[in-house]
Structure 1
Amino acid sequence: MIASELEALSNELARAWRKIEVVHFNFVYNKLNFESCVHRVPLTETMGCVHASTATVAIMPEVDHFDICVDPKDIELRTTRSGPNVNKVETAVDLINKLGIRIFYTERSQLQNKERAFQLLRGKLYEIKLKEQQESIRNQRKMQVIIV
């Protein structure tokens, strides 16, 4: 089992600590998943008094990065006349995704416009996937850590 500390913060005045660790082990998420809750941590003073503190534990699986693949069947590609040769060549590119994302790009060459429009579309789709993933993680944390 390999554990590495990602982040450790402490505030002595507020008596608050935050520690994030990554544990690499086979099936570690399945084994530690049920430890997600608020644990009671007894602290003992020098006088022998016991103070009850709590520690909130959230066990989250590490999320993989994802590649964005744009399926040409899901895209409507139109070209229109634009740029310095407005009367001769269709250089502007208009991409419309099935999700309703529309990207219109006008530069000097149609090939540059097409590449740039696809790059912007992949960026927008990546942002959407990232927001969905973050929302899923937020919901998992809320389900795991319930304040009693």
Structure 2
Amino acid sequence: MIAEKLIDLEREYRNLEREMSNPEVFGNNDAYLKLNRRYAELSPIMQLWEEYKRLSDSKKQAEELLSDPDMRELAELDLETANSRIPEIEQELDVLLLPKDPRDERNVILEIRSGAGGDEAALFAADLLRMYERYCVKAGLKMELLDSNPSDLGGFSKVVVELSGERAYSHFKFEGGVHRVQRVPATESQGRIHTSTVTVAVMPEVEESEVDLNMNEVRIDVFRSQGAGGQGVNTTDSAVRVVYRPGTPDELIVVCQDARSQIKNREKALNVLRSRLAEMQRQEEEEKIRSERQSMIGSGDRSEKIRTYNYPQNRVTDHRLSGDDKNHPLDVVMNGNLEDLLEALQRLQREELLAEMAEAAE
């Protein structure tokens, strides 16, 4: 445990209390919310720190009273309490003081694409989208459709959504990768189990100033939105296609057509492009670090299988986990109840970070 860091955080915490009581700050909603968010983040750390200091003082006083026959029994009880609780507090503080992912607070661009398995993969892409929709309702997040390519049977070859709300990225950061499904497709007459795959990409949104996007390398096309017909089809050219570095090996294409406004579709498409470019840069940097440390697991890329959804056995298996955390009831998960699974992945991440910090300290 780093006492110096806790002392600095305590100083920041007290300053936040003073600033939040300032009438000028209280009248500025954005400033107050920012301060309050940081105050709430530090509060559990400060509660433990206060308990740690109190128990440390109690332990010191008890040690001094051990030589007093009249106070010895009470001192031994106080020592037992302090010696039992202080190591627990130190472990809890170690976890709370782990480096925070600065992207956790950001909104998310989520892309779901069908992989191997044709129509069945497209149908499962729609199932995953419904699963995420249900989870968003439970987590208080908003989902907005940006682009979709529906299949004939009601699935999606691709669907792109924006997820917004408090700590949106922290909820979905573990969903990126290949999701494999094993089940009997509705079109299978022999009752055979098929294996299909769907890829999920999770990209934290970035501010315009964070990505150096040269608009001279971008072509923007407008066209009429496609739909199922009737009132759902726009009669104006509101859909937007953004092509980054067209005709080169670096070409990227982003389409947004679900908003009625061409301006909004253009804004959303450029936002998705920036997020993709930022994610690609992050992956390149992480890959370089992995190579230098020679600590890659499997292929280490986005295409690696992370989870299997086995319908005949009503089981979801997350291949990054082990023991009791590895398997979960499929019907529960598909209904949007991802909390247990995500908490297990968060615990795993914390354990890995603690191990890395311990290794670095040696």
TM-score w.r.t. structure 2 length? 0.20
Higher strand proportion, which one?
1
TM-score w.r.t. structure 1 length? 0.47
Higher helix proportion, which one?
2
Q: Which has the higher contact order (CA 8 A, sep 6+)?
A: 1
